[in-house]
């Protein structure tokens, strides 16, 4: 990747017209020499962005008792055990719940029933909950998830991921980009040699090549 990533990010930001909404800043990573028909070769990573995502992230918690009480005011929604069946019986509301939240955590004992009753909605969207011990303090996990992104190539050699928003500084975006590229590269058999190119762009802007 070029040494002057910050300058190239700045170029991408300056080349994007002002919009009436907050644009994301996205990376497009193109692989080569990787057989993605083999699931073991696919990229599927959760990456902590050192400078955050630049926008509010919504977290849902499946829990009861002490955990539910601790999650109130920190999570965006707390779902009790009895509500799992309600969502399972109303797929429209289940899809709405999953679509409106970026990540979920759940008391470990609830994971089997969530997988059985809501897995068909949550699994394909990559939003199965992360387990947490009953009564544990959820704030650390919630705050970490608010800076996490999921990078998934599936079976495509070109895949995209957001690394922030247009109102972030080029320096902060560069730090996030380097974190993503470092992790992805570490998962490739030939490292950077398996990367054909990398581009950065805002949602509606033109792409600028980083590699």
List domains and CATH numbers for the chain: 5-54+147-209 (3.30.190.20), 59-145 (3.40.50.790)
β-pairing, 24-31 with 158-165? Answer: antiparallel
Helix (H/G/I), strand (E/B), else coil: 32 = coil
How far from the centroid of its chain's Cα atoms is residue 208's Cα? 22
Give the pLDDT score at 135: 84
| Contacts of residue 25, Cβ cutoff 8 Å, sequence gap at least 6 | 9, 12, 13, 54, 162, 163, 164, 165, 166, 168, 173, 200, 201, 202
| Residue-level pLDDT at 194 | 97
Mean pLDDT, 10 residues at a time, the chain of 211 residues: 86 87 94 95 94 92 94 94 96 96 95 97 94 92 90 95 95 97 96 96 94 90
Tell me whether residue 178 is exposed, middle or buried, using C-beta atoms within 10 angstroms of its C-beta: 0 to 12, 13 to 18, 19 or more. middle
Of 31, 33, 25, 73, the closest CA to residue 51 belongs to 25
Burial of 129 (0-12, 13-18, 19+ CB in 10 A): buried
pTM of the model: 0.78
């Amino acid at each position: 990747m070029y040494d002057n990533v910050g300058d190239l990010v700045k170029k991408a930001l300056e080349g994007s017209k002002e919009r009436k909404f907050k644009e994301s800043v996205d990376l497009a990573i193109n692989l080569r020499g990787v057989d993605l028909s083999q699931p073991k070769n696919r990229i599927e990573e959760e990456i902590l962005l050192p400078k955050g995502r630049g926008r509010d992230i919504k977290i849902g918690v499946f829990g009861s008792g002490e955990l539910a009480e601790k999650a109130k005011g920190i999570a965006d929604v707390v779902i009790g055990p009895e509500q799992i069946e309600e969502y399972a019986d109303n797929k429209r509301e289940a899809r709405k719940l999953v679509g409106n939240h970026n990540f979920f955590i759940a008391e470990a004992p609830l994971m089997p029933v969530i997988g059985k009753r809501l897995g068909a909605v949550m699994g394909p969207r990559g939003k199965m909950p992360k387990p947490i011990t009953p009564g544990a303090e959820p704030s650390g996990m919630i705050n970490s998830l608010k800076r996490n992104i999921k990078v998934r190539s599936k079976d495509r050699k070109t895949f995209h991921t957001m690394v922030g928003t247009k109102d972030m500084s080029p320096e902060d975006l560069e730090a996030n980009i380097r974190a993503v590229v470092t992790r992805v590269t570490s998962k490739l058999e030939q490292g950077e040699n398996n990367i054909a190119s990398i581009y950065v762009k805002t949602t509606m802007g033109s792409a600028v090549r980083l590699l």
